[in-house]
C-alpha cells in the first residue's frame, strides 16, 4: 500500500494512527471548523509564496485520484527543464509527494516547501526529509532543499512586499541527516499497513503531539463517560498522563492526591462528591460590578497569517466585528465591522474608546482574550488604549469566576472556554437557526464578503455576524443570571 506525505507524518506520530487513516477512515472524527480553517490558511499562503518564483506552471491535480496524470505531467516538465513548477508530483517506493515549488536554474534543481507558520518545527523537517527521499529516489538531483515560512519581523507598509513577508531557509543538512531514519520508517509503516489487524497502542500524550489525532473518538471511547482521570480535561493532557503513570487511575483516587494545588484539588473534590462549590461573598461582590450603566461586548477576530492592514505583521490579531449591548437593553445593539476601505484598525480602536466613555463597566466573557488581542495589534493607538485605565479598569471577565474558583461546578470537567461552560451547565440552546455557529464560520463569512463590490451581499454578511454576536451576548447574559441565582 502506498504512502503520502500526510499519511507518513501521521505514522511518525503513531503507527496506529496511519493504519486507521489508511484502512478505517470511517472511524475518523469529523473535521473541526478549526482544522478546516487551517487547511484554507495554508492554501492561501501557498499562493502568495509562489510569487517568489512567478510564471510557473501549476500541476496540481483536480483531486488526489488524478495523481497518475499529475505524475506524467511532472515527468514531462522535468524532462523539459521547465524553470518553475508548482505542485510537482513524484512517487518513489510507493511514496507519493506533491512539492510546493520546484525550480530549475543554472543547470540545477531547487526544492521549496511552504509553511504558514512563524518557525520551523521538527514535523516540517521530517516533512522536507521525506520530500528529499522521494526526489532523490526518482533521480532528481536536488541541489538544495528549503522551507519558506512567515517572517515574524515583517510589518506591512502599503502594498504587501512578498519578499519581506516570507523567510527562506535551507534545511539541506538537516534533511540529509534524516535520510536513514526516513528510509527505515517508510519500510516499517508499509509493513504495518500490510497487516490485517489494527496495531495495539494505548492512548497517551502522542494523541495530541504534534497534532490532535483524527481518531480520538475511536481510541478514547472506552474512557468516555467513566470516572477515569483521563476525562478531567482541566488538568491538561501531560498532567493527566503523569498522574496515570503514578497510579492515579480514577477521580476517587485523585481526590486523595496531595500533589494538586488548592483550587484544582477543590475541583476534583466537587467532581467526586457531585456537589458545587460557591464562594458566595466574593462571587456576589464580583457580579455586583455589573451595574445599571454597564454593557456587554463581543469581539470577533482571528490571528491572520497574512497582514491584511497597514502596520500589521503575520499572525497579528485582526478584529473584524464588535457588538455592544447595554445590560438592561438586551435587544439594543451597536455594531462596528471592518471594511476594506478603512485599511487600518484605527476605527476599531476609536470605537472601543467611545464605549469606555459611555459605560461604567464593560462585560465580556474572556477579558484576557480581549486584552491580549489588543496587545497583538501592531498599532500605536492600541498601545494607548491598553494604557488607558478608564478602559482596562472597566473590563470585567466572567471567565475569571471559573478560573479563580469563585464557582466550581461538579458538571464541568473540561476547559473553561465559553462554549464548553455553556454546554456543561446546560445553558446552550439555539435561539433560532443561524448561518454562523462558531468563530471559524464567522471568520469565513467575513473573509468571503468584506471586500465585495455588491453592498447588499456585504450588508447581509455583516448582519449574519451581528446576529451571531448578539446570540453570544444573550448567552453571556444567561450565564450571569445563572450565577446570580447561585448566590
**Strand segments (E) across 208-289:** 277-278
Distance CA 65, CA 461 (A): 35
d(CA 429, CA 279): 27
Look at 93-102, 268-277, 430-439 and tell me which has the smallest mean pLDDT: 430-439
Compute the distance between CA of residue 149 and CA of residue 320 in angstroms, rounded to an integer.
25
Q: What angle do CA 234, 236, 238 make, to 5 degrees?
A: 155
Instruction: Specify the pLDDT at position 276.
Output: 95
Instruction: Report the range of poorest mean pLDDT among 176-190, 400-414, 423-437.
Output: 423-437
Top-confidence range, 40-54, 121-135, 376-390: 121-135
Whether pLDDT at 101 is above 80: yes
* d(C-alpha 5, C-alpha 463), whole Å: 41
Report whether pLDDT(453) > 80.
no
As a whole-number percent, the residues of the chain with pLDDT over 70 amount to 95
Question: Which pLDDT tens digit goes with each residue over 46-60?
Answer: 888 999 999 999 999
At 217 the three-state DSSP class reads: helix
Pairing of strands 316-326, 334-337: antiparallel
**Helices marked H in 54-198 — which ranges?**
67-79, 122-137, 162-165, 172-177, 179-194
Task: Tell whether the model's pLDDT for residue 236 goes beyond 80.
Answer: yes
C-alpha cell, 357 = 466613555
pLDDT at 144 over 80: yes
Distance CA 234, CA 424 (A): 13
What is the number of other CB atoms lying within 10 angstroms of the CB of residue 457? 12
- For the residues 440-457, what does the mean pLDDT come to? 83
- Please give the C-alpha separations between residue 391 and each of 297, 346, 373, 401, 436, in angstroms, as whole numbers: 13, 16, 14, 20, 30
Band (pLDDT 50/70/90 cuts) for residue 447 is: confident
Q: 123-127, 185-189, 371-375 — which is least confidently predicted?
A: 371-375
Integer Cα distance of 228 and 82 in angstroms: 58
Tell me which of 113-122, 145-154, 264-273 is least confident: 264-273
In the predicted model, what is the mean pLDDT of residues 30-52?
73
pTM of the model: 0.89
Confidence class of residue 94 from pLDDT cuts 50, 70 and 90? Answer: very high
pLDDT reported for residue 102: 98
Whether the predicted pLDDT of 452 surpasses 80:
no
Q: Which three cell numbers stand for residue 432?
A: 433560532
> Is the pLDDT confidence value at 258 over 70?
no
Is residue 432 over pLDDT 70?
A: no
Identify the pLDDT of residue 43.
57
Direct distance between the N- and C-terminal alpha carbons of the chain, in angstroms, rounded to an integer: 62
Name the DSSP class of 32: P
Please list, in sequence order, all residues whose beta carbon lies within 8 angstroms of the beta carbon of residue 465, skipping any fewer than 6 positions away.
Answer: 300, 320, 321, 337, 436, 442, 445, 446
DSSP 8-state secondary structure symbol assigned to residue 98: E
Is there a cis peptide before residue 317, judged by omega within 30 degrees of 0? no
Mean pLDDT of 220-225: 84
The DSSP bridge pattern shows strands 142-150 and 166-170 to be antiparallel
Closest to 174 measured CA to CA, from 219, 224, 233, 130 = 130
State how far Cα 264 lies from the chain centre: 26
Q: Is the preceding omega at residue 210 within 30 degrees of 0, hence cis? A: yes
pLDDT higher than 60, residue 42: no
pLDDT over 70 (residue 37): no
Query: Residue 377: what pLDDT?
Result: 87
The mean predicted confidence, pLDDT, of the chain is: 90
The mean-pLDDT minimum among 11-25, 299-313, 356-370 falls in 299-313
Does the structure show a pLDDT above 80 at 287?
yes
Residue 387 in 3-state DSSP?
A: coil
**pLDDT exceeds cutoff 90 at 163:** yes
Listed in sequence order, the DSSP H helices in 291-415 are 346-358, 367-375, 380-386, 389-392, 399-403
Name which of 203, 188, 218, 136 is nearest 12 in CA terms: 188
Q: In sequence order, which residues have a C-beta less than 8 Å from that of residue 190 and are 6 or more positions away?
A: 1, 3, 94
Amino acid at each position: 500500500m502506498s504512502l503520502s506525505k500526510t499519511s507518513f507524518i501521521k505514522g511518525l506520530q503513531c503507527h496506529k494512527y496511519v493504519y486507521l487513516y489508511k484502512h478505517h477512515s470511517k472511524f475518523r472524527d469529523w473535521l473541526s471548523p478549526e482544522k478546516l480553517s487551517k487547511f484554507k490558511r495554508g492554501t492561501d499562503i501557498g499562493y502568495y509564496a509562489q510569487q517568489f518564483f512567478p510564471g510557473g506552471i501549476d500541476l496540481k491535480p483536480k483531486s488526489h485520484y488524478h495523481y497518475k496524470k499529475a505524475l506524467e505531467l511532472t515527468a514531462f516538465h522535468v524532462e523539459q527543464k521547465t524553470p518553475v513548477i508548482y505542485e510537482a508530483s513524484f512517487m518513489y517506493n510507493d511514496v507519493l509527494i506533491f512539492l510546493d515549488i520546484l525550480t530549475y536554474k543554472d543547470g540545477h534543481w531547487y526544492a521549496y516547501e511552504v509553511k504558514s507558520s512563524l518557525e520551523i518545527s521538527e514535523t516540517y523537517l521530517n516533512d522536507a526529509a521525506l520530500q528529499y527521499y522521494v526526489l532523490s529516489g526518482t533521480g532528481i538531483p536536488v541541489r538544495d532543499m528549503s522551507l519558506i515560512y512567515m517572517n515574524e519581523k515583517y510589518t506591512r507598509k502599503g502594498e504587501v512586499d512578498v519578499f519581506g513577508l516570507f523567510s527562506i531557509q535551507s534545511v539541506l543538512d538537516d534533511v540529509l541527516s534524516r535520510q536513514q531514519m526516513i528510509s527505515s520508517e517508510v519500510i516499517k509503516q508499509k509493513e504495518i499497513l500490510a497487516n490485517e489487524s489494527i496495531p495495539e497502542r494505548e492512548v497517551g500524550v502522542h494523541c495530541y503531539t504534534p497534532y490532535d489525532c483524527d481518531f480520538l473518538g475511536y481510541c478514547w471511547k472506552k474512557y468516555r463517560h467513566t470516572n477515569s482521570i483521563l476525562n478531567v480535561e482541566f488538568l491538561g493532557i501531560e498532567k493527566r498522563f503523569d498522574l496515570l503513570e503514578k497510579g492515579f487511575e480514577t477521580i476517587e483516587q485523585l481526590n486523595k492526591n496531595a500533589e494538586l494545588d488548592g483550587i484544582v484539588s477543590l475541583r476534583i473534590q466537587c467532581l467526586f462528591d457531585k456537589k458545587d462549590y460557591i464562594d458566595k461573598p466574593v462571587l456576589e461582590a464580583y457580579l455586583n460590578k455589573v451595574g445599571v450603566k454597564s454593557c456587554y461586548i463581543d469581539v470577533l477576530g482571528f490571528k491572520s497569517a497574512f497582514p491584511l492592514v497597514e502596520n500589521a505583521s503575520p499572525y497579528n490579531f485582526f478584529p473584524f466585528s464588535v457588538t455592544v449591548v447595554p445590560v438592561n437593553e438586551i435587544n439594543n445593539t451597536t455594531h462596528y465591522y471592518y471594511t476594506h476601505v478603512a485599511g487600518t484598525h484605527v476605527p476599531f480602536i476609536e470605537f472601543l474608546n467611545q464605549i469606555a466613555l459611555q459605560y461604567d463597566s464593560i462585560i465580556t466573557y474572556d477579558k484576557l482574550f480581549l486584552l491580549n488581542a489588543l496587545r497583538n495589534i501592531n498599532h500605536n493607538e492600541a498601545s494607548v488604549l491598553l494604557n488607558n485605565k478608564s478602559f482596562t479598569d472597566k473590563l470585567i471577565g466572567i471567565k475569571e469566576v471559573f478560573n479563580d474558583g469563585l464557582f466550581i461546578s461538579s458538571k464541568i470537567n473540561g476547559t473553561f472556554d465559553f462554549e464548553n461552560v455553556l454546554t456543561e451547565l446546560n445553558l446552550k440552546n439555539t435561539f433560532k437557526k443561524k448561518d454562523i455557529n462558531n468563530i471559524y464560520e464567522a471568520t469565513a463569512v467575513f473573509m468571503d464578503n468584506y471586500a465585495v463590490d455588491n453592498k447588499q451581499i456585504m450588508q447581509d454578511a455583516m448582519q449574519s455576524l451581528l446576529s451571531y454576536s448578539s446570540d453570544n451576548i444573550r448567552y453571556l447574559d444567561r450565564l450571569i443570571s445563572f450565577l446570580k441565582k447561585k448566590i
